Amino acid sequence: AGSVGVLVYLGGSLSRDFLGLWLPDQMSTAAGALKAVLPDLSALALKDAVVSHAAIPPEYLLFMTTYSVGWMGLTLILAYIAFQEVDL
């Protein structure tokens, strides 16, 4: 589970240009498609605003909460589908 988490984090945070530098064209296209499906974790980064003492708009906090809850819900639904027991 930890390895999958690291892969999702790296896949979601690396830029498409960076992936294109190190991967062949076919793999770069596949990595770009995978990046389009994975959550964009950079949307949750608040480090710059906190370090510069900038005010964080309430709309952004609402967006972050909705985005996080949406991805958690999707993950739970996919886990339920993958691990449900079906009697044959």
pLDDT at position 22? 59
- What tokens appear for 40 in the block? 């964009």
Q: Distances from the Cα of 56 to the Cαs of 6, 12, 39, in angstroms? A: 27, 23, 21
The model's pTM: 0.60
| Mean pLDDT confidence for 74-79 | 90
Q: What distance in Å separates the CA atoms of residue 42 and residue 46, rounded to the nearest whole number? A: 9
pLDDT of residue 69 exceeding 90, the answer is yes
- pLDDT tens digits, one per residue of 16-57: 556 666 566 666 566 667 777 777 777 777 888 888 888 888
**Residue 14 DSSP one-character state:** S
Mean pLDDT of the chain: 76
For residue 10, what are its two tokens? 């790296």
